[in-house]
Chain A
Amino acid sequence: MEASPEYAVQMHGILKTFGAFTALDRVDLDVKKQTVHAILGENGAGKTTLMNILYGLYQADEGDIFMGGEKVSITNPTEAIKHGIGMVHQHFMLVENFTVTENIILGDEVCGAAGVLDMARARKQVMELVEEYGFDVDPDAKIQDITVGMQQRVEILKALYRGAEVLILDEPTAVLTPQEIEKLIEIMHDLIAKGKTIIIITHKLREIMQSADECSIIRRGVYMGTVDVHQTNETELASKMVGRNVNLTVEKTPAHPGDVVLSIRDLTVKDDRGIEQVRGLNLDIHAGEIVGIAGIDGNGQQELVDAITNIVKAESGSIKVNGEEIANTTPRNTFLKKVATIPSDRHRWGLVLPFTVSENTALERHADDEFGAGLTLDYDKMREYTTKLIKEFDIRPAGSEDERMSGLSGGNQQKAIIARMVTSSPNLLIAFQPTRGLDVGAIEFVHKTLIAERDRGAAILLISFELDEVMDVSDTIAVIYHGQITGTFAQGTVDENQLGLLMAGGEIQ
């Protein structure tokens, strides 16, 4: 495509290699002025790399960048800002104990004579911006006291304050509640109306459908084309992104709940700073039932799982598995009571990365006589067992029994954990953020496995910060807020707006 003034940004033939690895293989991107342009791709496809090149954080090996039809050279973020490009990173770059105004002007301070900071004038400028764009942000509030959604707006204001015409948003919805996502989409459309151009990086299909005009797809560093969002659907986008047909809907039969397996009563758990995170929580899960916990990160989910797995002590209350008390025992006891857990942070809790795949799959079971009697450990038996799991769960690469776990991709590491947890035929399977960082294909596998375990008769506790996942997979949805379950619903009896309200501490009328 020719460079043309109609386009806010054009990147042509962008080639970027890291050593022998080609991250971007002559990728094209044409973003029309005053549109929302989505960049879609799996983890590691190269979308963030492409945007980092536009923002001057990386330099392309080959290729040109045009803005408004003119060729530009961007070698660092300062130049990008000068060209009117602003970027909001996935992880906010804000000083927690500074005010909103202080954060916005940081690095571009308003100064009077002799370089003295003129806060009054700075505050006025920020106020003007807030009013112009109708942002609901208090310029004097400290970052640590405002919600994540507001923090994101502060990041956007930071870019606008520096005169951004093109805004890059990297995975902007990852940390937001459904209400906040809606608000963000509103803001995006508002910005477009005021003449700005927005590029959003995401792998969430629904948000693209809701917010974007056009969508460019990158698969493994290769540009796969641009589609008009109004003329496509989620399934088509997904198959373009992955390169094969993907089933986006979770298929399952109705649940047939049996007896209560997990019963939690008045559970109170403190975090490592001594603050109560779980405050008198009650929860029951039956055999053959998936209970999904919906909630925003930091409402006691981690501490709930830590208490069940006996990683931390419970302050009070009881946790019973099949009628037996397991609170304040040991992680080993939790395992012996046939409770298996897929941890949220697989590198921290789930895997010993320098161990081989075979050594990893033997964790927990190594202590039994299965792999050698008495003091000895039979590595050959461990390997045989692992070969079976690799085959059964399609862990790649095949034959990786003696490879280090760190050499496997994230999706296959997760498969190895799931294989290890599921083969013990647990009575209770806890899945904490089981699809975090996984691509569409791997997510499909995880969900199928959870449902298969349910159908085998296990009780499943699914905890996820992805509301869609909780709503699609669970038979029963429980909302956690401030360390308590504030509502329990059968699947299909509650919509995401109602859940979003509860997750934010509100009430359903």
Chain B
Amino acid sequence: MSKLEKFLRGRFAAALVAVLVGFAVSAVVLAAAGYDPIGSFAALFNGAFGKPKYIANVIIKATPILLTGVSVAFAFKTGLFNIGAEGQYIIGATLATIVGVKLSLPMPLQVPIVLAAGILGGAALGAFVGWLKAHFGIHEVITSIMCNWIAFYLCNYVVMSDTFHKPNSTSALQVNSSSYTMILGNWKKSAAGKEALAGVPWLREILLKTDLNYGFIIAVLVAILISLVLTRTKLGYELRAVGFNRDAARFSGISVERNIVLSMLIAGAISGLAGALTITGISPHTITLLAAMESYGFNGMSVAFIAASSPIGCIPASILFASLIYGGMSVQQVMGAPSDIINIMIGTIVFFTALPGVTPMLADMIARKRRNEEDMKVSKDGTPLPKKEA
């Protein structure tokens, strides 16, 4: 395999080409709308990475979409389309809130239990979709969309219920503070902490002005874990076999039904964790009345596609996506461009992630050409390959 071929076959090339073309086209869009593309991109970059605080916020924004991205990518690797990451995220957040409000244990117990509640909620919703598919053949996209709305209204029901509603607000009650997962959450607000931080302005800015939390570290670990499951375990092998060719998998003794349910269960659990980590990690540490979907799940789909369904690839993809969203707000302020233009720009970049098919196709062409040249060498002089007697 030539170097060029290898590079083109890599996921990295595919994503890179997609993002570059996306930027190029969105530059045209910006120019057409009367905004200087170079200035806009500068504002975007500055808004995302210009200050330590901004970087911290990008990481915070990247956390849930990294997890929902891994959730979608994982399901996709096993032949399923988890459009239900949104609903699983909402259920995860809702259950984490319910448990976090009702339970008041010491932090080392409280945090795992609150997170587990979210994971279980997402897993249950995902498994339900998988079960419907495995046993009744109902397509997961249909049931996932339905489940998204069930989760949506369940969340609103909990927010407005007598038990959980916070008076005079559109939110539910906050979870107990022992559920919080901010980095140095208690120390940074104490007198000693404030004093210590005063000498380190950048750290002070990150810790005090943002909700920087452990979520991203957990999400990265989950991405690595899922990648290992897919490539180093019997479970991952079976899940992928089912995803690629259900009939051949069944023929070789793999239980297709069990694997479909398991796949959606795991995908749901990851999205559920994303919801729970939002509750424990960032204010207001509770769920609020939803008027529309928050798109954490849908953005996860974009992340998974940018990453070409690689769980590890979701890490840079989520950072990219989060920086577009967060940095995009600066473009609005600096350039005066309306948010619609920013969204078109983000949309254009995501749109061009449909390109990952193109670069491997180029590599295929190179490979085919080389193979044929080798074949021709053989047939031209008429001597066939030496064949061993079987």
Interface stretch of the complex, out of A172-180, A279-287, A442-450, A476-484: A442-450
A377 interfacial contact with B, CB 8 Å: yes
With A20-B372, A20-B373 as given contacts, are A309 and B251 in contact (CB-CB < 8 Å)?
yes
Q: Which listed residue (A309, A350, A359, A375) contacts B235, Cβ 8 A? A: A375
Q: Does A78 sit within 8 A of B, measured CB to CB?
A: no
CB pair A367 B234 closer than 8 Å? yes
Q: How far is the CA of A187 from the CA of B368 in the complex (A)?
A: 43
Residues of A with C-beta under 8 A to B238: 366-367
For residue A331, CB closer than 8 A to chain B, the reply is: yes
Residue of B nearest to A351 (CB): B248
Taking CB atoms, residues of chain B closer than 8 Å to A221 are: 379
Q: Could you tell me the distance in whole angstroms from the C-beta of B2 to the nearest C-beta in chain A? A: 15
Is the beta-carbon distance between B241 and A355 smaller than 8 angstroms? yes
Residue of B nearest to A333 (CB): B253
Q: How far is the CA of A222 from the CA of B383 in the complex (A)?
A: 12
A348 touches B253 (CB 8 A): no
Interface string of A452-491 (1 = CB under 8 A from B): 0000000000000000000000000000000000000000
- Cα distance A377–B248 in the bound complex, in angstroms: 19
* Alpha-carbon gap, A71 to B254, bound state (A): 60
Report B21 CB to chain A, min CB distance, Å: 25
Q: Does B165 contact A (CB under 8 A)?
A: no
Quote the shortest CB–CB distance from B219 to chain A (angstroms). 23
Cβ of A311 < 8 Å from any Cβ of B? yes
**Contact for A352 among B231, B236, B241, CB less than 8 A:** B241
Q: Are A331 and B247 in contact (CB under 8 A)?
A: no
In residues 326-360 of chain B, which contact A (Cβ within 8 Å)?
Answer: none
Residues B371-390 near A (CB distance < 8 A): 372-373, 375-376, 379, 382, 384, 387-388, 390
Docked Cα-Cα span, A376 to B241, in Å, equals 16
Contacts of B241 in A (CB 8 A): 352, 355, 359, 363
Picked from A219, A244, A311, A394, the residue with its CB within 8 Å of the CB of B250 is A311
Interface string of B232-264 (1 = CB under 8 A from A): 111111101100110111111111000000000
Contacts of A359 in B (CB 8 A): 237, 241
The reply to whether A376 and B240 contact each other, CB–CB distance below 8 Å, is no
1/0 per residue A11-46: CB within 8 Å of B?
000000001111001000000000000000000000
Q: Inside 8 A of A351's CB, which chain B residues have their CB?
A: 245, 248
Assess the B384–A352 pair: CB atoms within 8 A.
no
Separation of A484 and B373 alpha carbons in the complex (Å): 51
**In this assembly, does A332 line the interface, its C-beta being within 8 Å of a C-beta of chain B?**
yes
Shortest distance from the beta carbon of A408 to any chain B beta carbon, whole Å: 12
Contact with B along A299-326 (1 / 0, CB 8 A): 0000000000101000000000000000
Bound-state CA distance A334–B253 (Å) is 8
Rounded to whole angstroms, the CA-CA distance of A359 and B247 in the bound complex is: 16
**B-chain residues with CB within 8 Å of residue A441 when the two chains form the complex:** 387
Q: Are A352 and B379 in contact (CB under 8 A)?
A: no
A330 at the interface (CB under 8 A from B): yes
B232, A376: Cβ atoms closer than 8 Å: yes
Please tell me if the beta carbons of A363 and B234 are within 8 angstroms of each other in the complex.
no
Do A363 and B388 form a contact, CB below 8 Å, given A348-B247, A351-B245, A375-B234?
no
Does A335 sit at the interface, judged by CB under 8 A? yes
Q: Which residues of B contact A341 (CB under 8 A)?
A: 251
Q: Considering the complex, which residues of chain B in the window 198-241 have a beta carbon less than 8 Å from any beta carbon of chain A?
A: 231-238, 240-241
Contacts of A352 on B, CB cut-off 8 Å? 240-241, 244-245, 248-249
Q: Could you say which residues of chain A place their CB within 8 Å of the CB of B252? A: 331, 335, 363-364
Q: B27 → chain A, closest Cβ, in Å?
A: 34
Alpha-carbon distance A393/B245, docked complex (angstroms): 25
Q: DSSP majority for the B interface?
A: helix
Is B369 among interface residues, defined by CB-CB distance under 8 A? yes
> In the docked arrangement, what's the CA distance between A362 and B252, Å?
10
Interface pair B390/A394, CB less than 8 Å apart: yes
Contact A22 B376 (CB under 8 A): yes
Q: How many residues of A contact B (CB 8 A)?
A: 47
Give the residue name and chain of the A residue nearest to B390 (CB).
A445
From residue B250, how far is it (CB to closest CB) to chain A in Å?
6
Residue of B whose beta carbon sits closest to that of A394: B388
Q: Which of B244, B368, B379 contacts A20 (CB 8 A)?
A: B368
Task: Tell me if B251 and A353 are in contact (CB < 8 A).
Answer: no
Q: For the complex, is A258 an interface residue (Cβ under 8 Å from B)?
A: no
Q: Using a CB-CB cutoff of 8 Å, which residues 337-359 of chain A contact chain B?
A: 341, 343, 348-355, 359
- A112 interface residue per 8 A CB criterion: no
A220: Cβ under 8 A from any B Cβ: yes
Is the Cβ of B251 less than 8 Å from the Cβ of A244?
Answer: no
Which single residue of chain A is at the shortest CB-CB distance from B373? A20
A244 contact set on B, CB distance < 8 A = 384, 387
The reply to whether B384 and A448 contact each other, CB–CB distance below 8 Å, is no
User: Which residues from chain A contact B232 at a C-beta distance below 8 Å?
Assistant: 376-377, 379
- Residue in A222, A363, A444 whose CB lies within 8 Å of B379: A222
Known: A219-B379, A376-B232, A449-B390. A348 touches B368 (CB 8 A): no
Report whether A330 and B235 are in contact in the complex, using a CB–CB cutoff of 8 Å: no
Check B248 against A350 for contact (C-beta < 8 Å): yes
Within 8 Å CB of B249, what residues of A?
352
- B234 touching A366, Cβ below 8 Å: yes
Given A221-B379, A331-B250, A350-B248, does the pair A366, B237 have CB atoms closer than 8 Å?
Answer: yes
B381 to chain A, nearest CB (A): 11
When chains A and B are docked, how far (Å) is the Cα of A341 from the Cα of B253?
12
A151-184 Cβ-contact flags toward B at 8 Å (1 or 0): 0000000000000000000000000000000000
Binary B-proximity of A218-232 (CB < 8 A = 1, otherwise 0): 011110000000000
Task: List chain B residues, Cβ under 8 A from A334.
Answer: 253
User: Does residue A274 face the partner (Cβ distance < 8 Å to B)?
Assistant: no
Q: In the docked arrangement, what's the CA distance between A461 and B250, Å?
A: 21
Q: How far, in whole Å, are A332 and B256 apart by their CA atoms in the complex? A: 12
Q: Which of A353, A394, A448 contacts B245 (CB 8 A)?
A: A353
From B248, B254, B379, contact of A348 by CB (8 A):
B248
Which chain B residue shows the least CB distance to A341?
B251
A107 within 8 A of B: no
Per the bound structure, the CA–CA distance linking A367 and B241 in Å amounts to 13
- Residues on A with C-beta less than 8 A from B233 are 375-377
Query: Is A372 engaged at the interface, CB distance under 8 Å to the other chain?
Result: yes
How many angstroms from the CA of A384 to the CA of B228 in the assembled complex? 21
Q: A243 at interface (Cβ–Cβ under 8 A)?
A: yes
Which residue of A has the minimal Cβ distance to B379?
A220
**Interchain CA distance A221-B378 in the complex, whole Å:** 12
The contact of A376 among B234, B365, B388, by CB within 8 Å, is B234
In the complex the two chains form, is B244's CB within 8 Å of A350's CB? no
User: Which residues of chain A in 371-421 are interfacial with respect to chain B, using CB atoms and an 8 Å cutoff?
Assistant: 372, 375-377, 379, 393-394
Q: Could you tell me the distance between the alpha carbons of A335 and B247 in the complex, rounded to whole angstroms?
A: 15
8 contacts between A and B (CB under 8 A): A19-B368, A21-B368, A309-B251, A331-B250, A352-B245, A363-B252, A366-B238, A377-B236
Q: Which residues of B contact A (CB under 8 A)?
A: 231-238, 240-241, 244-245, 247-255, 365, 368-369, 372-373, 375-376, 379, 382, 384, 387-388, 390
Question: Contacts A220-B379, A331-B250 given; 11 further ones with Cβ under 8 A?
Answer: A222-B379, A244-B384, A331-B251, A332-B254, A334-B253, A348-B247, A349-B248, A352-B244, A354-B244, A355-B241, A379-B231
By a beta-carbon cutoff of 8 Å, the part of chain A in contact with chain B is: 19-22, 25, 219-222, 242-244, 309, 311, 330-332, 334-335, 341, 343, 348-355, 359, 362-364, 366-367, 372, 375-377, 379, 393-394, 441, 444-445, 448-449
Closest 8 CB pairs of A and B: A332-B253, A445-B390, A363-B252, A20-B369, A220-B379, A349-B251, A243-B384, A352-B245
